[in-house]
Amino acid sequence: MGTTSYHHSPGILHLQAISGPPLAPLAIPSGKPAVIGRQATTADIVLAGDLSVSRNHATVFSRGGTWLICDIGSKHGTYLNGVRIPPHELAPIRDGDFIRIGPWTFHVGGRPVTSPRLLTTNDDIQSSANRVRRLPDHEFSLKVRERLELLIDAAGTIAASSTIEGLAHAALDAVIGATPYPRAAFIRRVHSGEFDAQSRVEVIASRIQNMPDSPPGEFDSFSLTVLRAADDGKVVVLDGGPGEIPPGQSLIDLRIQHALCAPILVDGVPCAYLYLDARKHESAAGVPLSGSSADDAPAFCVAIARVCGLAMAKLNRAALDIRRQELEKDLQAARAAQNMLMPAAQGTLGPFDYAVRSCPGRLVAGDLFHASVLPDGRVAVMIGDVAGKGIGAGILMAGTQAHLAASLTHHADPARAVQEANRFVSIHGEPGRIVSLLLAIIDPASGEMTFVDAGHGYWLVRTPGSLPRRVPCQGGPPIGTERDTAYVNEHVPFGPGSSLIAFSDGLAEQPGPDGTRFGIERVCEVCKRADDPDRIVDALLTELRTFAGGGHLDDDVTIAALRRADS
């Protein structure tokens, strides 16, 4: 039966500081990007007191169930699993990752899931602590030189490994062959904080003498004392005590007579361990744990651990490159789908002139826009935003847009069309995929706009002689939130000269260099200075890029303006 490791929940990113100044565990919600930095007035997560942390250092956020981190131009860099993230580029975060910002290293973790390779540590602190000793560095140099040939052979095999499993097996082959310990395991921590009685470790590979392919279940426990002592980055040994072990002590004292643990460091943090031991019956059977081979074992194991650390850092760099390549490939496909469905940048629909601009951000968030003349002469306009990123969001965006357009050709009822699309998304969409939407039908004959706002909210109406304003409305939840939601039609006057300005959340929520948001109030101010649809959308884009400091946009931005031009 599998035991427990930890993953962050889809809605919350859990970060535990495992090195650096004391810091409470962090739980970051997925609602909006969180800025990490030194400046309390602009950062959502404040890392104060160390100048190696920039005022606004990095941002983390969730899109479509995937957590991402982005260094926002920090001076000293943001590191993921020991690899520096290029400034302003996105890197996906996964469970078990290590994030370093300044002096802090954070371990990513959270809710329990099942894995067959996870085993528990044994709580032997009271009975074994006085037998554990850390070895000083000066004991290693001579002994390592004596084993140089073995070390070189092992280093070559470890460095050539393309997977963590291959690396682990190569390391265990070396330590089992060069030390007297009959048992060895390559284990990885899956928890944050110190080792305790509830700690779990993931067994990447294990060896028992004469059982080269021993399953993890054959190595069913590890000394908590040894792992805790090794967690400060030094190799430790557990020495056998003299005489009989008195009854009543823990199972670990009854079985483990000798143990050795060499931490494997990546970016200065223990992320895995070479763990070796000899159990009571194995020692009694004549396992020689004294003499030159036993004396050399710590030095040899610490050298192998250092080689493993370098190899793991290389694997981490390759893995991060693959993550980023997969993300970029996903985003390119989504952008292609989005561009294919986007109408011409400007045009005329009956008595209405319109203009639309769509600019890609670092993520494709599934922005949708559609405008068309219905068979009865009314004009339909829709703008929305799919929660999530990448090809999944792009597919849902395309399906939702097609479903709405088809519904409107049959009955031209906004509320009914949104209800039908809501059922479609609820049935066919992935869990957590929702679509915010404004669907409006403008009737030139009645001078009225009938609309449904399904959790969107990013739109303004301007009538002749007035300023752009938000329209109070009942609205409803985003599409896909609840399958049986009943949406209702609402109405606003839309006579000659009236304009509709609608946009995606990427415009209003774009942060500036100081962390403040562009905001709807700024949209209203810009729209005061322009009247023509082309000028409105271009002025908003120009203002947005200036506000963002000329850098990347965090999200896709779609801006549309439609004006009734007849008199």
* Domain final position from 67, 90, 113: 113
Confidence of residue 549 (pLDDT cuts 50, 70, 90): confident
**What's the domain range around 202?**
117-317
Quick one: 431 and 476 in the same domain? yes
Decide which of 160 and 498 is more confident.
498
With a pLDDT cut of 90, the percent of the chain lying above it is: 39
| Last residue within a domain, chosen from 61, 91, 113 | 113
Inform me whether the pLDDT recorded for 80 exceeds 90: yes
What is the C-alpha to C-alpha distance for residues 563 and 383, in angstroms, rounded to an integer?
16
Residue 176 and residue 248 share a domain: yes
Domain membership flag for residue 333: no
- Domain final residue, candidates 113, 137, 157: 113
Residues 152 and 52 in one domain: no
Angle at which helices 519-528 and 533-547 cross, to 10°:
130
The residues near 210 (Cβ < 8 Å, ≥ 6 apart) are none
Inter-residue contact 257 to 182 (CB < 8 Å) = no
Rg (CA), the chain: 31
Residue 344: is it exposed, middle or buried by C-beta count within 10 angstroms (0-12/13-18/19+)?
A: exposed
Binning pLDDT at 50, 70 and 90, where does residue 191 land?
low
Residue 554 belongs to domain with CATH number: 3.60.40.10
CATH of the domain at 43: 2.60.200.20
Q: Is residue 251 part of a domain?
A: yes
> Are both 46 and 122 inside the same structural domain?
no
Residue 538 lies in a domain: yes
Q: Which of 148, 184, 183 is nearest to 168 (CA)?
A: 184
Which residues on neighbouring strands pair with residue 61, listed in sequence order? Answer: 68
Sign of the Cα pseudo-torsion (175, 180, 186, 188, in order): negative
Locate all alpha helices (DSSP H) within 160-250, ordered by sequence: 164-178, 224-230
Alpha-carbon distance values, 70 to 146, 354, 493 (Å): 46, 35, 44
State how far Cα 366 lies from the chain centre: 19
Residue 250 lies in a domain: yes
Domain membership of residue 334 (yes or no) is no
Q: Does the structure show a pLDDT above 70 at 250? A: no
Strands (E), 484-546: 490-493, 499-503
Q: Confirm whether 466 is domain-assigned.
A: yes
Q: Which residues pair with 278 in a beta bridge?
A: 258
- In-domain check, residue 157: yes
CA distance 131 to 240: 7
Give the residue with greater pLDDT, 344 vs 566: 344
Q: Residue 469 is encoded by which pair of tokens?
A: 């304003």
- Name the residue among 432, 435, 430, 377 with its Cα closest to residue 402: 435
Q: What's the domain count of the chain?
A: 3
Residues 6+ apart with CB under 8 A from 18: 98, 105, 106, 107, 192, 193, 269
In which residue are the tokens 């082959």 written?
173
Question: So what's the pLDDT on residue 197?
Answer: 64
389 plus 477 within the same structural domain: yes
Report pLDDT for 127. Answer: 52
- What is the residue whose two structure tokens read 């260099």? 513
Taking 80 as the threshold, does the pLDDT of residue 37 lie above it? Answer: yes
Indicate whether 10 belongs to any domain: yes
Alpha carbon 485 to its chain's center: 31
108 and 148 assigned to the same domain: no
Q: Do residues 250 and 263 share a domain? A: yes
Q: What's the pTM?
A: 0.55
The stretch 76-93 carries a mean pLDDT of 91
Statement to judge: residues 528 and 428 lie in one domain: yes
pLDDT, greater one: 136 or 216:
136
List Cα–Cα distances, 160 to 234, 302, 371, in angstroms: 26, 19, 57
98-133 pLDDT tens trace: 999 999 999 997 443 344 455 555 555 555 555 566
Per the CB < 8 A criterion, the answer to whether 305 and 155 are in contact is no
Decide if 259 contacts 219 (C-beta within 8 A).
Answer: no
- The domain that contains 299 carries what CATH number? 3.30.450.40
- CB 186, CB 207: distance < 8 Å: no
Q: How crowded is residue 231: how many other Cβ atoms within 10 Å of its Cβ?
A: 19
One domain, residues 94 and 143: no
pLDDT of residue 354: 96
Single out the residue of 208, 164, 128, 420 nearest to residue 308, CA to CA: 164
Least confident of 180-184, 326-330, 415-419, 516-520: 326-330
Handedness of CA 117, 118, 121, 122 (dihedral sign): negative
pLDDT above 90: residue 541: yes
Q: What is the pLDDT of residues 358-412, one digit of tens each?
A: 887 665 556 888 999 998 899 999 998 887 665 666 677 878 888 898 898 888 8
User: Looking at the structure, do residues 128 and 99 belong to the same domain, yes or no?
Assistant: no
**Are 199 and 302 within one domain?**
yes
Q: Is the pLDDT of residue 339 over 80?
A: no
Q: Are residues 97 and 227 in the same domain?
A: no
Alpha carbon distance 86, 79 (integer Å): 9
